Structure 1
């Protein structure tokens, strides 16, 4: 088993353990969950792996960490869609391609929302990103996508996207290349102009570049 598959297996084991614990011990929203140390001992995995799994679940709003107080089951009744998406992502037999596809659906919709809103198109973040790209500064791929989701103003979509991005591929954590910087600059310029067709075309070209080089 390669490193990527091993990490995935550990992640799924931790999540499954939490599910069983919540169910069998009838843990209610607001109740405290076992500590990282306890979970680490039960699963015989490193605390860093436990911490990463808990962080992912926290991004989904399924648990919450209180400084100095531990980890608690969140009250997520109002986030049923997030729970459904989380369950989908965390099933071992689901195709990773489905995760990519769902993530990109959120990205496209965020771009459409921004293109249709003059205030969002004028946000200073776009000029800042263009400046960094033009001046060959180091820019991580998921930073750009995250700014797009944040700007769209849909907090639920952002929460879902964060989990999808974290689980889909480490490729998004890489720095943009010189070739894709040109594509992204075109995307951002079209976005500022409100040209949805050219924005989506540039986005699709960027995603195809990533698929052909990394995914």
Structure 2
């Protein structure tokens, strides 16, 4: 089962389980281990699903207490997306294009704010030199640094249904282009940063990432 469909099944099965066990908003849901055993999937898969559901505000984790169900009305967003996404190839293309809209908007926001001058960009360049950079980490940090929590939540959810086109580590062939993107951001040159980002990300969002292998 591929990653998007596995994620959809987990969300659906968790919803059914919550209904069957009559778990109410504010009630504690089963632990990560219990969910993994009940749904017969790895704990890492459960952890990723829980993380995304928490970002969406569907569940909340209380340190030392466990994970609790939030307002069930918020589940409508997941249900709406799950009925639309992955129905056909065009739907998945739409998802990836929507991800790109949020990603380029994040770059635009960063370049027009004080975030462009943060020390984090030097850290990014150092990680690129050390060949210790995952593609997903790079894009997610852009989303976080744009300081738009709603956009981040939408992007994170879309990523789950997209097949995670940014899977894998940055290859040496990608280094120069990513370096140019980071330098353009530091210079607050949004036009150049967005142009180079689109050139880089199109290989993944269109499922053509073999050219970077």
TM-score w.r.t. length of structure 2: 0.78
Indicate the residue corresponding to 1:146 in structure 2.
Answer: 140
Cα displacement string for residues 174-210 of structure 1 (whole angstroms, at most 9, x for unaligned residues): 1111222111111111112222211111111111233
Deviation at 1:39, TM superposition (A): 4.5
* 2:117 is the alignment partner of 1:125: no
Aligned CA distance change for structure 1 residues 130 and 10 (closer, same or farther; 3 Å): closer
* 2:181 is the alignment partner of 1:187: yes
Deviation at 1:123, TM superposition (A): 0.8
Indicate the residue corresponding to 1:198 in structure 2.
Answer: 192
Deviation at 1:112, TM superposition (A): 0.6
Aligned CA distance change for structure 1 residues 38 and 120 (closer, same or farther; 3 Å): closer
Indicate the residue corresponding to 1:161 in structure 2.
Answer: 155
Aligned length: 204
Equivalent residues of 1:60, 1:83 under 8 A apart = no
* 2:111 is the alignment partner of 1:115: yes
Aligned CA distance change for structure 1 residues 83 and 105 (closer, same or farther; 3 Å): farther
Indicate the residue corresponding to 2:101 in structure 1.
Answer: 105
What is the CA–CA distance in structure 2 between the aligned matches of 1:154 and 1:76, rounded to whole Å? 24
Residue aligned with 1:176, SS? coil
Pick 1 or 2: higher relative contact order, CA cutoff 8 A, min separation 6. Answer: 2
Structure 2 portions without partners, runs of 5+ = none
Aligned CA distance change for structure 1 residues 187 and 83 (closer, same or farther; 3 Å): farther
Aligned CA distance change for structure 1 residues 68 and 187 (closer, same or farther; 3 Å): same
Equivalent residue for 1:176, pick from 170, 186, 196: 170
Equivalent residue for 1:59, pick from 20, 33, 55: 55
Residue aligned with 2:166, SS? helix
What is the CA–CA distance in structure 1 between the aligned matches of 2:146 and 2:97, rounded to whole Å? 19
Equivalent residues of 2:4, 2:160 under 8 A apart = no
What is the CA–CA distance in structure 2 between the aligned matches of 1:130 and 1:10, rounded to whole Å? 34
What is the CA–CA distance in structure 2 between the aligned matches of 1:125 and 1:116, rounded to whole Å? 16
What is the CA–CA distance in structure 1 between the aligned matches of 2:58 and 2:5, rounded to whole Å? 20
Aligned pairs for 1:83-102 (under 5 A) are 84=77, 86-91=78-83, 93=87, 95-102=91-98
Structure 1 portions without partners, runs of 5+ = none
What is the CA–CA distance in structure 2 between the aligned matches of 1:176 and 1:204, rounded to whole Å? 16
